[in-house]
């Protein structure tokens, strides 16, 4: 009888340890999602490549440089999960991120261009957009100053899993560090 009880107890404990794993929370789903940026998960890199490759204004060399800048941006991103609010199968998780301030670089390089237009002309005295983009990307690559943003990520429960919903354009701009915070 003791052996039967012991076997039952062992089976029950095994069930608890293996079969009843801890259910994912919205906070954990957001943590995993943010970590996919920091670790440059393949799905994030694929999205990054699509985002940059869709920009028809950039030359191939500019696309390559911009991808490097964004990969660095993602891998250096830090975040803090502030809180979560669950409303049935939908949750909202507030996250504070810290990224390189590429918006400031874009603003400064545009101001520099406005005051020094001749520097970006070709040998025939005609504006060379590629020259300016190279200048701007070089400044972005050297960026060290950071900015903090708050995101409210929507997390949806389906089939007992919590998944982060598609981010808004402004949230993506914040992760990229190009969000225009001066318009708020």
pLDDT tens column, 78-106: 999 999 999 999 999 999 999 999 999 99
State the chain's maximal CA–CA distance in angstroms. Answer: 98
pLDDT tens column, 45-82: 999 999 999 998 899 999 999 999 999 999 999 999 99
Q: Distance between CA atoms of 65 and 71, rounded to whole angstroms?
A: 10
Q: What's this model's pTM, rounded to 2 decimal places?
A: 0.83
What pLDDT is recorded for position 22?
61
What pLDDT is recorded for position 132?
97
């Amino acid at each position: 009888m003791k052996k039967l009880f012991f076997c039952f107890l062992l089976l029950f404990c095994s069930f608890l340890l293996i079969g009843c794993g801890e259910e994912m929370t919205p906070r954990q789903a957001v943590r995993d999602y943010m970590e996919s940026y920091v670790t440059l998960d393949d799905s994030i890199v694929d999205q990054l490549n699509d985002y940059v490759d869709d920009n028809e204004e950039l030359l191939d060399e500019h696309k390559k440089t911009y991808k490097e800048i964004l990969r660095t941006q993602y891998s250096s991103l830090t975040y803090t999960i502030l809180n979560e609010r669950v409303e049935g199968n939908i949750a909202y998780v507030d996250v504070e991120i810290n990224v390189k301030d590429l918006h400031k670089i874009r603003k400064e390089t545009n101001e520099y261009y406005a005051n020094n237009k001749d520097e970006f002309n070709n040998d025939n005295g005609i504006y060379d957009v590629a020259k300016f983009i190279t200048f701007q990307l070089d400044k972005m690559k050297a960026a060290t100053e950071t900015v903090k943003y708050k995101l409210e990520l929507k997390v949806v429960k389906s089939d007992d899993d919590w998944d982060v919903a598609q981010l808004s354009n402004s949230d993506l701009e914040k992760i990229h560090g190009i969000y225009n915070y001066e318009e708020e």
